[in-house]
Amino acid sequence: MRHFISMRDINREELSAIIEDACRLKRERASGILTRPLEGRTLAMIFEKASTRTRISFEVGMFELGGHALFLNPRDMQLGRGEEIRDASRVLSRYVSCVMIRAYRHSNIEEYARHSSIPVINGLSDQEHPCQILADLMTIRELFGSMEGVRVAWIGDGNNVCRSLILAAPLAGIDLRIASPPGYAPPVELIEEARRGGADVRLADTPKEAVRDADIIYTDVWVSMGDEEERDARLKAFRGYTVTADLLDTASPHVAVMHCLPAHRGEEIEDAVIEGEKSAVWMQAENRLHTEKALLLFLVEKT
């Protein structure tokens, strides 16, 4: 029985197998082939925070695999009235086959998993967003034919998505250049961990320096869910870190732009960039569905 709470929970071979399977599921879906390998299985989805892509891709993904998904708002569960995480975890283990949790605190997902006898998936926490990275890596593979040696420039906040991307670098063989304003860079220990794993991950002084020789420019919101009180300070600190058409002009002609969405046009990304011909964001969003399905098969099918 396996959990997927962090990119650290899978190895290189498993990552590659999940992405391979996601590509197969995408091809089969396009040809109208849908099988029902998860018939009779239920996924419980607990969302402490809002979601469009994660909720819908998991729910539709479970349906397309022949299973069922339950959307649970913790405020409507006894969890919202103080029932202990370890109790909820042991009870749900007896009803469903897998649990996906989007939570404010990563440590709560870890605690839930410690008491769970079924797989637990991190659907975003303050620390990581590993499901997003599976879709991103699939997108990179589709765009460049391979993940190995592809250089990604991360522009902006060293947030949950950035952290999972750093941890994925040694598994996927991607290079990373990260440009964040002072005080908002990802933790140095994480970069060192990725480097020890063999990845070329470095901080850049400016967005311009980061995008030089990049194959992908990736950005995310400046104010993540849970950071709303810091909004004013962040908007000030991130000035100059917008992915603009001018910044793209300084990158290689084949560069593609990624964003995990939701986007705030005019803040981290210009409208002309997200709507432009180099934007891969819609492909990236679609791939959430295929990678979510592959992940569910990886975690649930054999349990």
Residue 78 catalytic? no
3-state SS, residue 109: helix
Q: Does 182 sit behind a cis peptide bond, omega within 30 degrees of 0 on the bond before it?
A: no
Tracing tokens 């220990």 back to the chain, one arrives at 189
The sheet that has 120-122: what strands, in order across it? 68-72, 42-47, 98-102, 120-122
For residues 108 and 120, the answer to whether their CB atoms sit within 8 Å is no
For residues 171 and 196, the answer to whether their CB atoms sit within 8 Å is no
Quote the least distance from Cβ 140 to ligand NVA, whole Å: 18
Closest CA relative to residue 199, chosen from 129, 146, 149: 149
Structure tokens at 43: 């996924």
Closest CA relative to residue 264, chosen from 157, 123, 122: 157
Residue 141 catalytic? no
The binding track of 228-267 with respect to ligand CP, each residue x by CB under 6 A or -, is --------------------------------xxx-----
Closer CB to ligand NVA, 174 or 263, in the complex = 263
Quote the least distance from Cβ 253 to ligand CP, whole Å: 28
Closer CB to ligand CP, 132 or 287, in the complex = 132
Q: Site for ligand NVA (CB under 6 A): how many residues?
A: 9
For residues 292 and 133, the answer to whether their CB atoms sit within 8 Å is no
Quote the least distance from Cβ 123 to ligand CP, whole Å: 7
The binding track of 109-138 with respect to ligand NVA, each residue x by CB under 6 A or -, is ---------------x--------------
The binding track of 112-131 with respect to ligand CP, each residue x by CB under 6 A or -, is ------------x-------
Q: Which of 6, 51, 122, 139 binds ligand CP (CB under 6 A)?
A: 51
Structure tokens at 27: 């091809």
Nearest position to ligand NVA, beta carbon = 224
Separation of alpha carbons 278 and 216, rounded Å: 10
Chain positions 64 to 103 lying near ligand CP, rule: CB under 6 A, are none
Footprint on this chain of ligand NVA (rule: CB under 6 A): 124, 159-161, 220-221, 224-225, 260
Footprint on this chain of ligand CP (rule: CB under 6 A): 51-54, 124, 132, 260-262
